[in-house]
A and B are shown apart, each in its own frame.
Chain A
């Protein structure tokens, strides 16, 4: 099984969210960046489990500058065999998807793994776009995947329940909580990661179809107003007149 695990670099969950003065760009200064947890905990680990049970190769794929090498190194320490880094800023979902698609066209991939979303923009776009470009089946929000030869039975999370489907390799999936259990890199893995290659390649041409114009902070939360349970009229009045939701 040739597996490609697409990983992104995201700010740590506790990092304060800041923007440039004109609100046009995210300001990552002083922020600790990590591997997107859905990519690390579920997608990568499930790929490693497949490799351990039936052989194969796990390659990490990342679009980003050299500052991402620490994140990639972590994936290698957890157990990926090697990594490919497209040396370009991940300017949009479309741009990143295009890089993945171009790589997969040139390299036969049996399973293309994504996390269900990144924890910064929460777009959940890249996987679907890349699979579409490759004309590959795409199963999103996978919480279980069982492989039997080239046939996979995948359970995905849907509103109010689960959906079970079957698909044959090659296919792409996005990993949700439950697909695997987080693994922590051990010292041996960290040492071995130093000997594993990160192949840096130039970006394929891809025009951004969307650009960010401006960011805005959400409105600060208002004060909490307590209304006595026996004063329902007041609650209704406020919902109608002040919140204007009735």
Chain B
């Protein structure tokens, strides 16, 4: 899924079709590349289940798959949790070292920049 998103054009395609479905030919007008190249990008996205494609008459309509994009968001959410917990701990260290007993500097040795 993320490999599919690693390419800037594909990310752009996903962003567009999440907002509004579009045919491959309409999408292709946005990029400086051939219709076939855009079609290939769409195929990669389709395999990653980030978009779905549907034939409507002579057009192929591409639509974003909200569920998969949400899954990507969930993964980032875990990273978010990690950082929130780090900030909590970091604050605790700040509190202890700065708010602690100033008459006891040995509990908070000043680091030397060269160490």
- Whether chain B is bound by chain A comes out as no
Show the binding face of A for B, using Cβ within 8 Å.
none
Binding site for A on B (CB under 8 A): none
